[in-house]
Amino acid sequence: MKKKKRMISILGFLVALGVIYVGLLQFKISQYSHVEAPKNADYLIVLGARVKGTVPSLAFASRINAAAAYLKKNKETLVIASGGKGPGEEISEAESIKRELVKQGIGESRIILEDRSTDTYENISFSKKLIPQDAKLGLIVTNNFHLYRAISIARDQDLVVNGLPAKTPLKAVFKSYTREYLAITKFYLKRYLLD
């Protein structure tokens, strides 16, 4: 009986710890998810996401739309479209960003393609090499749930960036946040334990 009680106590403690941890992650995410992007950034980096054939997923389309809205108001800002070609994708994520931006009236001369990356680390690392030398202020464009981790990765790579949050479609919220909690945990492990 004592053994059973101890097991229940340990389990309860672990569950409570898990709830506190997820709460802290959610707090961090929420700090970045409603930021006001500064005007006249030198460049945007739009992070790629799933493309269904040639059509961006809902969450991805939200990123592209947020970038287009900013670029229309800030005429000197360049955009780095970042993302390679994954399974089931007929074109690279970068090409998808470019096509959608052009459809919304953004000139091709403002769009730089980074079409080799396969994850957020590579998005940032490969895009960094394409940033014009005289550029100072950059913005990372991604969905609000993803912004905290994306900016943290960029700042770890010595990029001076702010965030431009895109809304997450309601139907993608649960899956996106659940995956992001795991991705942030992996990021922490890599940053604090593996390096």
Domain ranges of the chain: 31-194
C-alpha 128, offset from chain centre? 15
Neighbours of 172 (CB within 10 A): 17
- Smallest CA-to-CA distance from 29 within 151, 123, 118 is with 151
pLDDT given at position 192: 78
**SS3 state of residue 44:** strand
Q: Which residues pair with 79 in a beta bridge?
A: 44, 111
Dihedral of CA atoms 145, 107, 74, 149 in degrees, nearest 10, equals: 20
For the chain of 195 residues, list the mean pLDDT of each consecutive stretch of 10: 79 88 91 88 96 93 97 97 92 97 96 96 96 94 96 93 93 90 92 72
The DSSP call for residue 41 is -
The matching CATH number, chosen from 3.40.50.620, 3.20.20.100, 3.40.50.300, 2.40.50.140, for 31-194 is: 3.40.50.620
How many helices (H) does the chain have, and how many strands (E)? 6, 7
Residues 81 and 114 sit within 8 Å (Cβ to Cβ) = yes
Going by their DSSP bridges, the two strands 51-52 and 55-56 should be labelled as antiparallel
Please tell me the distance from the alpha carbon of residue 62 to that of residue 68, in angstroms, as a whole number. 10
pLDDT given at position 168: 92
pLDDT given at position 194: 64
pLDDT given at position 171: 87
pLDDT given at position 41: 96
Please tell me the distance from the alpha carbon of residue 177 to that of residue 8, in angstroms, as a whole number. 28
- Smallest CA-to-CA distance from 130 within 44, 61, 41, 40 is with 44
Residue 122 CB-density burial (10 A; 0-12 exposed, 13-18 middle, 19+ buried) = middle
